[in-house]
Amino acid sequence: MNTLIFLIPIALLLGALGLAAFLWSMKSGQYDDLEGAAWRILDDGDDKPEQD
């Protein structure tokens, strides 16, 4: 019973952290272009030969 006093708030806090992270990432537009994000990670931005 005593451990619960610590464990329950910790569990809730971690869950709330995850929720906050999700809401923040959505607000900052990170879900606006999921398809583009999948492609962008493949582009390492180094100097490629010019293509035409």
Partner 1 sequence: MSCCAAGTESAAELEALKSEGPSAEEIWLSSRPLGDGMRQVDLIVPGVHCGACIALLERELPRTPGVDHARVNLSTRRVSVVFENKAGAGSAAPISGSHAETVLTALAEKFKALGYPAHLPGGGEEGADPAFRELLKALAVAGFASMNVMLLSVSVWSGADDTTRDLFHWISALIAAPALAYSGRIFFRSAWDALSHGHANMDVPISLGVILAYAMSLYETITHGEHAYFDASVTLLFFLLAGRTLDHMMREKARSAVRNLVRLSPRGAMVIRDDGSRDYLALDEIEPGMRLAIAPGDRIPVDGRVVSGRSDMDFAVVNGESAPLPVETGSLTPAGTLNLTGSLVLEATKSARNSFLAEMVSMMEAAESGRAGYRRIADRASAIYAPVVHLLALGTFAGWMMATGDWRMAMMTAVAVLIITCPCALGLAVPVVQVVAAGRLFENGIMVKDGSAMERLAQTDHVVFDKTGTLTRGRPQLVNAAAVAPENLAIAARIARASRHPLSQALASHDTAGELMPDFDIIETPGEGVEAISPEGEVYRLGRAMFALDGHNQGLDQAADASQVILSKNGVFMDVFLFSDQLRRGAIQAVARLAALGLDAEILSGDREAPVRALAGELGLASYVAGVRPRGKVDRLKALAEAGGKPLMVGDGLNDAPALSAAHVSMAPASAADVGRMAADFVFLHDSLEAVPLAIEVSRKAGSLIRQNFALAILYNCIAVPAAVLGHATPLIAALAMSSSSVIVVLNSLRLRRKTRIEHFARGAVSRITPALPGEARAESSLRTSA
Q: Which residues of the chain form contacts with partner 1 (CB under 8 A)?
A: 1, 4, 8, 11-12, 15-16, 18-19, 22-23, 26, 31-36, 39-40, 42-43, 51-52
Is 6 or 51 the residue whose CB approaches partner 1 more closely? 51
Nearest CA-CA partner of 13 in 3, 21, 23: 21
On whether the CB atoms of residues 31 and 25 are closer than 8 A, the answer is yes
Give me the least distance between CB of 28 and partner 1, in Å please: 12
Distance (Å, rounded) from C-alpha 8 to C-alpha 4? Answer: 6
The least CB distance from residue 46 to partner 1, in Å, is 11
